[in-house]
Chain A
């Protein structure tokens, strides 16, 4: 599953981030395998989406969130 499809308030663990230029950028912002992220908010039309990672909130567009593969904790 990718990060753009998780539920509001859901906490998930990052499994893998695309090895694209976009993925590298996300990596530098802290989106790395093993980290937990939580979907805090969605903008009108469900895009962009705001994720909490560490102690920061970072907004990603849907296609950016799509490059993050996550594991749903359940």
Chain B
């Protein structure tokens, strides 16, 4: 009791689609933490496993088919298992294999054995092996590998208890080396490398030597040795693969019995439907439509509750606290700022619930299969489709969903172009501006307003695909990714896994991107509510006190005051300061202020315009805001909101990066200031030039 103990660290390893996540979740439950490995965007999932008074740290390694570092995922596995990851030292490995598909699983397992780690193997999906009448001699497999073997069907909770007790007892064994390192490289060379790199055995030395170009430490010394011994990494790699599969086949021949005629899997029949030449594409479109609907429509109600909840909280704080700067900061800066973060949670939660279900059923790989060819000319791949479609609702969950794209180049391009997809926040802006263009419904099936809206959505798609195409040409230095994609067996999704994914993604967004969003919203609040003292004072005095003592007069006075203050504030100063820049687009300083404030979120445009044109709060008053905007005149008496100017503004909003939350998420997902900076500049320049051209063509 109360004794200090050092938890041992166990790595959970396995090839993709073997139910590793289910096992990780049943071992650690909610005791999970998601971090990041340095230098890559791979989630580092660690959890604490508690059982019978013991506690162990479990690191869930990304699922990979081998330990050779090609993708980011594989690089993490390679680094952790070669002891190169300083903060993640592994004492033992728990490896998961699909019992009905031992070939690929054992390839990885035998590599893990050769690395020299104490190991225990879980043969998962035993029920599936049963169904296919695959029988296995467990004792024989244990003898051949020299490590303990457990049989489980983690989805059904079978075998988990046994694994838990085994973990507590520390049942891991160093297996019998599978490959002779003399077959893979000269012993003298490998021993020298082991000495230099401090690796405990020849096989680990070999891996570090093969992939020395990916690491910097000792690189020169290793290059020299490789030359001296005429060591060729590619050959060594091919030789290892061939020898290892031979060994794996031998092991399987000794302990696995398969039926002479393989039992056809249900998955084949399902694929005949889901990947049918015509119906396949139709089903895909239907599923994407449902996904789009869910993040667009189903999220609406909870988003309203959050919106109202934070508004209520703001009013309550306003009344409960004595008025002053601090209260204003709370009610106008921090609370709406927090609200602006939390409001995205329903969309993020719904999208990731959907994605976890699609991934869990095995459909996601099929979606990639269907769309891969279509996306390739644009420098994208099948995995880019879901992020892009999610972008119609909101770019933020879409960008977060790009983590499933293993190729760095394809992933960066997808992140880069997703904000062009016309998100839900653009909608209020479009509605009010299109309303200015076409005040009355013309009643036909092809309503002009509907057509204008459709055009703007189409424009977003075209901009995204065209930009992807251009970016592909500029990113020649990055390696193109292949496909080589396993189409896993169809399965029922695991509810616990789905819920945990939703919880983790929402939490990550709120706590990580949230910090940046909150900071920017406070800055924007300060800019919009403060200005040089004298100017602010002058602005306040310029508004005449109401003569009557009626409520309406008082309200009108407050609105005029707010408008005058905004004009004199720093935001107003910036608005006027950028007026020369935006004048060629047809905008005046008031729109300048709206553009500046829109950076908090695009829909802020509506409320800012409302304040500037001195009317009550947004939504209910859209009609009157439209009337006000229409009546707005320049000093020379011509209307401000002309056809050319409104289209120019619409085009600007379609292309410009006006969303600090997106910038924050791109920063988080690319781990560099470079990408969000390039993206913001690119989108803004594109928006500016297009708006300029639009204005001049139309006026």
Is B72 in the interface zone, CB < 8 Å from A?
Answer: no
Interface-lining segment among B54-62, B369-377, B508-516, B683-691: B369-377
Is A40 in the interface zone, CB < 8 Å from B?
Answer: yes
- Residue-wise, chain A 18-37 has the 8 Å CB interface mask toward B (1 for contact) of 01011011111110100000
- Report B-chain residues with C-beta under 8 Å of the C-beta of A15: none
- Report A-chain residues with C-beta under 8 Å of the C-beta of B156: none
CB-based contact B487/A57 at 8 Å: yes
Is B91 in the interface zone, CB < 8 Å from A?
Answer: no
CB-based contact A30/B483 at 8 Å: no
Contacting B at CB under 8 A, from A7-51, are 19, 21-22, 24-30, 32, 40-41, 43-45, 47-48, 50
Query: Per DSSP, are chain A's interface residues mostly helix, strand or loop, or mixed?
Result: mixed
CB-based contact B486/A47 at 8 Å: no
CA distance A28 to B103 in the complex (A): 11
- Output the least CB separation between A67 and chain B (Å): 10
Cross-interface CB contact of A60 among B66, B103, B484, cutoff 8 Å: B484
- Output the least CB separation between B531 and chain A (Å): 59
CA distance A30 to B245 in the complex (A): 8
Cross-interface CB contact of A64 among B101, B483, B486, cutoff 8 Å: B483
CA distance A21 to B484 in the complex (A): 13
CB-based contact B275/A22 at 8 Å: no
Query: Per DSSP, are chain B's interface residues mostly helix, strand or loop, or mixed?
Result: helix
CB-based contact A40/B271 at 8 Å: yes
Cross-interface CB contact of B242 among A27, A43, A61, cutoff 8 Å: A27
CB-based contact A32/B245 at 8 Å: yes
CB-based contact A43/B373 at 8 Å: yes
- Report A-chain residues with C-beta under 8 Å of the C-beta of B241: 24, 27-28, 32
Cross-interface CB contact of A44 among B101, B281, B487, cutoff 8 Å: B281
CB-based contact B482/A58 at 8 Å: no
CA distance A30 to B66 in the complex (A): 11
CB-based contact A61/B483 at 8 Å: yes
CA distance A50 to B132 in the complex (A): 21
**Smallest CB gap from A54: residue in B:** B103
- Residue-wise, chain A 50-74 has the 8 Å CB interface mask toward B (1 for contact) of 1000111111110010000000000
CB-based contact A50/B487 at 8 Å: yes
CB-based contact A28/B372 at 8 Å: no
CB-based contact B242/A56 at 8 Å: no
Is B70 in the interface zone, CB < 8 Å from A?
Answer: yes
CB-based contact B237/A24 at 8 Å: yes
CA distance A40 to B275 in the complex (A): 11
CA distance A72 to B267 in the complex (A): 26
Cross-interface CB contact of A55 among B68, B103, B234, B368, cutoff 8 Å: B103
CB-based contact B373/A41 at 8 Å: no
- Report A-chain residues with C-beta under 8 Å of the C-beta of B275: 41, 43, 50
CA distance A61 to B410 in the complex (A): 16
- Output the least CB separation between A62 and chain B (Å): 9
Given A28-B65, A64-B483, also A44-B242 (CB < 8 A): no
Is B476 in the interface zone, CB < 8 Å from A?
Answer: no
Given A27-B242, A32-B241, A32-B245, also A41-B281 (CB < 8 A): no
Contacting A at CB under 8 A, from B226-268, are 234, 237-238, 241-242, 245, 262, 267-268
**Smallest CB gap from B381: residue in A:** A61
**Smallest CB gap from B237: residue in A:** A24
- Output the least CB separation between B259 and chain A (Å): 12
| Sampled A-B contacts (24; CB under 8 Å) | A19-B238, A24-B238, A25-B482, A26-B484, A30-B104, A32-B245, A41-B271, A44-B277, A44-B374, A48-B369, A48-B372, A50-B369, A50-B487, A56-B103, A56-B104, A57-B267, A58-B485, A58-B487, A59-B365, A59-B368, A59-B369, A59-B485, A59-B486, A59-B487
Residue numbers of A with Cβ under 8 A of B are: 19, 21-22, 24-30, 32, 40-41, 43-45, 47-48, 50, 54-61, 64
Given contacts A22-B482, A28-B107, A59-B369, 9 further A-B contacts (CB under 8 A): A24-B237, A25-B484, A26-B484, A29-B104, A30-B245, A41-B275, A44-B373, A56-B104, A58-B486
Residue numbers of B with Cβ under 8 A of A are: 65-66, 68, 70, 100-101, 103-104, 107, 132, 234, 237-238, 241-242, 245, 262, 267-268, 271, 275, 277, 280-281, 365, 368-370, 372-374, 482-487
